[in-house]
Amino acid sequence: MAPDVYLAEAPSNIAFLKYWGKADAAAQWPANDSLSMTLRHARTQTRLQRSASGHHEIHFEGKRLAAQDPFAQKMLRHLTFLSEALEESQVPLHIDTHNTFPASCGIASSASGMAALTIGAVACWLEASSWEALTNKGISRAQLASWARRGSGSACRSLWGGFVVWEAAAGPASQRAYPLFPSAHWDLCDTLLLVSTAPKSVSSSQGHTTAWESPLFLPRLSGLPTRKRAMLEALADCNLAQLGPLLEQEALEMHSIMLSVVPPIVYLLPQTASWIVQIRRWRQEEGLEVYFTIDAGPNLHLICEPSTQPALLARLAQAGAQWLEDGIGEGPTLGMGRNKKWE
Ligand code: DP6
């Protein structure tokens, strides 16, 4: 009989308050708290089953990855970690994973990918095909989040829908991610404005290691609690006029950290700067209530309320821009099915 197939699907997320810099890289302990919005459309779908070949087999977007492929290596390292965390050696897995969004478009595929891998591998190993079955085996969502962060820090925020906080707390043992508000709390759109889809020259993981070298990093850390408080207030009140400027300050501050190390990490492109100016101009001169945030790349996430989106998209179309539409979404799903196809 063919082995059971476990299906884990996890969303990506866009950070409003950024995780940049680690207090302890080995333990994946972040230097500061972060806060994100879970995305609706940008998701990773991973199917897993016990492998008959005696070793892990990883397929990405339909193609088998060689064991030395950097992406496969990252997944294999995480599988080793998870197997050890479960405190017994686990059987090899056959893994098939794919993203619902294009690679290198500025959406954090490591967040959704590592979250889906964590949920799916643990489910498959423990033969638990639902959240309830996982809970019955003593595995909580918070535990999965804590494990997912070891694969990629931002992945721990992909265990819930809506708005999610990752608190650094006093140490690796007490750091934790948790849901702040469900998606129904505030319907926000995220229009991903594509400036370039070329792969980035410095990975986020490499970038994190340089943060402490920036003369701006300590001042950033001391100012963050105030920004976080203001962001929490704006989110609680669904107040975009308060949230928006904080989003922009936060993204530009993170890029200032990147730009002020030697050698600088330059993710931004000239077109990114032009769009920053354009978005601000539309807001100030035409009252278009749209704000940007930017991750470790040149593309802009344009945040607005649904009532503003048609006017934004019309302007983007007129300017010849390319974009992907997304918005606030739900958390991961887990299921089982031998022949089930993803919708
Ligand atoms: C800019 O989670 O990709 O997207 O923990 O080294 O895998 P690792 O880094 P990663 O860093 C994400 C950085 C960011 C900001 C954020 O998502 O908070």
What tens digit of pLDDT does each residue of 321-341 get?
999 999 999 999 999 986 555
Does one domain contain both 205 and 175? no
Q: In sequence order, what are the beta bridge partners of 194? A: 322
Q: Residue 117 and residue 128: Cα distance in Å, rounded?
A: 14
Q: Is 288 part of a structural domain of the chain?
A: yes
Residues of the chain with pLDDT under 50: 342-343
**Token pair recorded at residue 25:** 């890289």
Q: How far apart are CA 154 and CA 3, in angstroms?
A: 31
pLDDT of the residue at 342: 46
Cα–Cα distance between 184 and 151 in angstroms, integer?
29
99 Cα: distance to centroid of ligand 1 (angstroms): 17
Check residue 200 and give its pLDDT.
83
Residues 89 and 201 in one domain: no
- What does the pLDDT read at residue 107? 75
**In CATH, what number is assigned to the domain containing residue 135?**
3.30.230.10
Residue 178: its pLDDT value, please? 98
The CA 154 to ligand 1 mean position distance, Å, reads 5
Number of domains in the chain: 2
Test site for ligand 1: of 154, 163, 268, 293, most ligand atoms within 8 A of the Cβ: 154
* 164 and 207 belong to one structural domain: no
Per-residue pLDDT tens over the stretch 209-260: 999 999 999 999 999 999 999 999 999 999 999 999 999 999 999 999 999 9
Assess whether 215 and 181 both reside in one domain: no
Tokens of 22: 């680690």
Q: Are residues 143 and 228 in the same domain?
A: no
Name all residues whose Cβ lies below 6 A of ligand 1: 15, 18-20, 28, 34, 108, 110, 152-154, 204-205, 208, 295-296
Atom of ligand 1 nearest to the CA of 19: 18
Residue 243 sits in the same domain as residue 260: yes
**pLDDT given for residue 343 in this prediction:** 40
Do residues 153 and 219 both lie within one domain?
no
Residues 95 and 240 in one domain: no
Q: Which residue range forms the structural domain that includes residue 115?
A: 6-185+329-336
Predicted TM-score of the model (pTM)? 0.96
Q: What distance separates the 2 farthest-apart alpha carbons in the chain? A: 66
Q: Say yes or no: 137 and 206 in one domain.
A: no
Give dist(CA 40, CA 161) in Å, integer.
Answer: 9
Q: Are residues 82 and 12 in the same domain?
A: yes
Q: Are residues 50 and 63 in the same domain?
A: yes
